[in-house]
Every structure is written in structure tokens, then in C-alpha cells.
Structure 1
Amino acid sequence: MNFNSQERAVPGTSNGLAQSRARGLSELFALRQRRNRKNSGPSLINAVTKKVNKIRSKRKQMAIRPELNLHELLTNKDLVCEFRTFLCSVFSVENLDFWNDRETHKGTKSSKQRKIATMIHQNHLASYSHKEVNLDADTRRSTLKSLENPDQSTFDEAQDHIFRLMRGDTFRRLMKSYEH
């Protein structure tokens, strides 16, 4: 199996990381083919394991740095992908989904804002929605009130609240997980 890094893009990542991943995979498969020719079973497993660990180590060093802040993370597609993986593991991905939907809402034309605002409400703010975010009662009430006439600032207060939650909890836990 041959992977060409220019033909193959990983969804949700920039080409640089996708290319380095593709190169790493093609090196891994080339190593496997060389080892298979020599029929050395256990050493192949050890070599592949070492290569995978080396790729993971490089990926961690490249992406998450101690001085990183949440604003920087949210503007970098590769880092958002790492953060999303972490949020899935701690069952908090709805916060990032809300953040991304809100950013989409900010950039839309006024003619489509009502439709996107309704979608955000149904997905994230409605009681028992499948991606309901944890908002305090005052924030939820004011956001629902502003949904009567949605505009660019409809979800500002809710987005600020979710940002503070992510910064104080899940982002901090992500950073601690990379320290160890």
C-alpha cells in the first residue's frame, strides 16, 4: 500500500500535519515491507511500536506547548483537532461544537442568521438536546430572549461562558495531560 502525502488529506487538519502523518505512515509501511521480506516477526512488532511512539512523541512536541493559550488553540486547525480528541475522551466535546457553531454564526449573512441561530438553539441550548451545553440560568435566559431577534451578538454571552468553562476545566486538563 503506497500513501502519497500530496494526494491524501486528513479531514479537519492542515496540509502540513496531514503530510507529516502521511509520510510517517508511508515510512511505517515501507519498514513493514522490508521486515516482512526478512521474515522477522517479533522484531517487526518492536520496530513498528518504536516508530509509532516516535511519531506520537513528535506530534505532541509539535502541537501542545506549555505557553499555549486557549485563544491560540482555537485558531489553529491542528490544535483544535487534538483538543477535540481530548474532549471526546472526557465527554465534553459539546462545548467545542457549540464554539464552532457560534463562530459559523458570526460569519454568516444576516439573511441566514435566523436559520443558524435556530440550529444552534436546537443542538446546544434546548433542554435535552443531543449536544446541550452547561449554561447558568441567567445566561441561558438572556440568550433565549435574544433569539427572538437573532443577530451577530445573539450568542456572545453564552460563548463567553463556554470559553471560560473550557479555559478553566478541559483546556487546563489537556495541558496537564501533556505535562506527564
Structure 2
Amino acid sequence: MCQGLELLPVTCLERVKELKARLGHFLLKQELNLMGLSNKSGKLKAEDALMWNTSFQNLLSHKDGLCIFQAFLISEHSEENIAFYLACEDYKNTKTSSKLCSKAKIIYEEFIDNDAPREVNLDHETKCITKKNMVQPTASCFELAQSKIYTLMEKDCYPRFLKSTLYMELSRQTKP
């Protein structure tokens, strides 16, 4: 398993992996049913899916919304953005300084370093600031980078998600 992926919730990761292989040309209704998110299954409430279009934060704070957004990003080959964001959220909740250092190193090498396998799109200045923060990692050392990626997803990925077949079909199925 890739470093960083283990930071995602296991059930969501399983759903995302399942979708990754299938999202392409299969019928969307079948995909949603496989995830257990079809309105017919009763697991997803109409108001939940419809609330996701009111704010990006509403989408991310809902378990199923987050999983569907992750699947969308995988289909667009930009899943590193949400993986980085979630890794930073997990990192901020780390209690001991020894774990902070090891987690910071993993996140930096996975997402920010120039040769990172899942490098996120950050400007040079943000990368430099984050690299300086790595000298003595604190709970806030990724704050600027995380904020930039959040804004990128909110302004770029989220509007595309709301226009995607995936979301349109889901919201159509869940309308009261």
C-alpha cells in the first residue's frame, strides 16, 4: 500500500479502491449501488446529497460525500489532493511530538518533496515555507500547504464534481 493511503479511513479507502477500477464506462447507478449509496438502498438521505452542493465543507464533512468526492478525484487522476488534505487533518490530531516528526516526514516525502510520488501542486514559496517548517515540525507546519490545496479543490475540483455525471446522477436519484 502506498504511504499516505493508510491515513484514509479503512471503509472509505475500500470504497474508493472498488470504484477506482469501475468508474470508467460502467453505469453510474450500478456504481452507486455497489457503494451502498443509492437512494433505493435507503442509506443515503436525499438532503445529504443535495446539501453537498451548498458548500465544499458540507461535502467533506459527510462520510459518504467524502468517499464519492475521492472517487471523483481518482477518476480525474488528482486523488493526491484529497489524500494530502486528509493526511494533514490526521497529522494535526497527533498528540506526541515524536509521532509528529515521523508523520511530518512521511507527508512531506509523499506529497511535497520535488520527487514525491504523489506530489501536490504547490507554488515554490509554499514549498519553501513548508520545508523550513520541517526543521522542527509542529501541529501547524502543513497549515499553509493544506490551505492552498483546500482552496485548489474548492475552486477547481469541487465545481467540476458538482457538474459531473457522478454527482448529477446521485442528486437526481435522491431528489425527494
Report TM bin, short chain: 0.5 to 0.7
How many angstroms apart in 1 are the aligned matches of 2:160 and 2:30? 24
8 Å Cα contact 1:64/1:175 also seen in 2? no
8 Å Cα contact 1:106/1:152 also seen in 2? yes
Deviation at 1:69, TM superposition (A): 1.3
Give the equivalent residue in structure 1 for 2:49: 64
Give the equivalent residue in structure 1 for 2:118: 131
- Match for 2:78 among 84, 87, 92? 92
Q: Tell me, which stretches of 5 or more residues in structure 2 are unaligned? A: 1-9, 14-26, 170-176
> Quick one: which amino acid aligns to residue 82 of structure 1?
I
Give the equivalent residue in structure 2 for 1:155: 142
Q: Tell me, which stretches of 5 or more residues in structure 1 are unaligned? A: 1-9, 14-48
Percent identical = 35
How many angstroms apart in 2 are the aligned matches of 1:61 and 1:128? 43
Give the equivalent residue in structure 2 for 1:12: 12
Change (3 A) 1:57 1:139: same
Deviation at 1:128, TM superposition (A): 2.3
4+ aligned runs moved over 6 Å, structure 1: none
How many angstroms apart in 1 are the aligned matches of 2:138 and 2:82? 21
Q: Per-residue CA shift, 1:30-62, capped at 9, x if unaligned?
A: xxxxxxxxxxxxxxxxxxx9x859957625956
Report whether the alignment pairs 1:173 with 2:160: yes
How many angstroms apart in 2 are the aligned matches of 1:88 and 1:61? 24
> Quick one: which amino acid aligns to residue 12 of structure 1?
C
Q: Per-residue CA shift, 1:113-153, capped at 9, x if unaligned?
A: 00000000110011121111000111111111111010011
Change (3 A) 1:78 1:179: closer
Change (3 A) 1:53 1:102: closer
How many residue pairs get aligned? The number is 135
Give the equivalent residue in structure 1 for 2:3: none
Change (3 A) 1:161 1:57: same
Deviation at 1:11, TM superposition (A): 1.5
Deviation at 1:166, TM superposition (A): 0.1
How many angstroms apart in 1 are the aligned matches of 2:94 and 2:88? 10
Change (3 A) 1:11 1:54: closer
> Quick one: which amino acid aligns to residue 123 of structure 1?
E
How many angstroms apart in 1 are the aligned matches of 2:115 and 2:105? 15
Give the equivalent residue in structure 1 for 2:151: 164
Change (3 A) 1:60 1:53: farther
> Quick one: which amino acid aligns to residue 112 of structure 2?
L
Secondary structure of the residue aligned to 2:109 is helix
How many angstroms apart in 1 are the aligned matches of 2:32 and 2:134? 49
